[in-house]
Amino acid sequence: MRNAAALDAIASPAWATEVGQFNLEINVPPRTLDGDSLAALETELRADLNAADARARTIGSRLVMVGILPTLAEHDVAEDSMSANERYKVLNEQIFAARGEDMRIEIDGAEQLLTHTDSITPESACTSVQLHVQVSPTRSRTTGTRPSPSPPCRSRWPPTPRTCSAGSCGTRPGSRCSSRPRTPARTS
């Protein structure tokens, strides 16, 4: 599947490209998390997925929700399989300019993989469902209380230099902190 053709067929502003040409993204409007809102979200997503799949089939494509795509080969995650969206090209260039070297990918398990890549396209092999929760930074809606103080600088993102208030990142309180938080491992 080439996502640009599928997006043309789907013709909905809720749908967008993702890094790999074989991926799509759907965005749904925000909602409150009360009552049967999660059941309503499921109903809305199922209807949107079914409608998009029906439209994608008109051009010989199908939508499939999977975690890690089992049929990918190395050529499927090469730079030329990146979506045409300019943001991915810029993101790719900036990441590798900052790294100064190719990325090593090592998976150790029942099936092992060790490879190097010079693009971000292998990220497209691992798909996900991401739910984002929006909360007030000054007051909790459910309790009416003020939130607890900000966590130490180690847990903040983006990892920009800041003044450390707790000293838990290994620096003295009040000194500049540029430590990066540990990123969680992906699971499938």
Q: Give the mean pLDDT of 7-13.
A: 95
Mapped onto helix, strand or coil, the DSSP state of residue 138 is coil
Q: pLDDT by residue (tens digit) across 130-153?
A: 888 877 776 555 555 555 554 443
Q: pLDDT by residue (tens digit) across 161-184?
A: 334 444 444 444 444 443 333 333
Q: pLDDT by residue (tens digit) across 64-91?
A: 887 777 778 888 888 888 998 899 999 9
Asked whether the predicted pLDDT for residue 129 surpasses 50, the reply is: yes
**Dist CA 176 CA 129 (whole Å):** 36
**Dist CA 163 CA 171 (whole Å):** 10
Tell me which amino acid residue 99 is: R
**Dist CA 77 CA 91 (whole Å):** 16
Residue matched to tokens 């810029």? 90
Report in angstroms the alpha-carbon separations of 92 from 35, 85, 158: 42, 12, 18
Average pLDDT, the chain: 76
More confident residue, 129 or 99: 99
Please choose, from the candidates 45, 59, 47, the residue with its C-alpha nearest in 3D space to the C-alpha of residue 6: 59
86 burial (CB, 10 Å; 0-12 / 13-18 / 19+) is exposed
Give Cβ neighbours of residue 104 (< 8 Å, ≥ 6 apart): 114, 115, 116
**Dist CA 132 CA 168 (whole Å):** 28
- Please give the model's pTM, rounded to 2 decimal places: 0.64
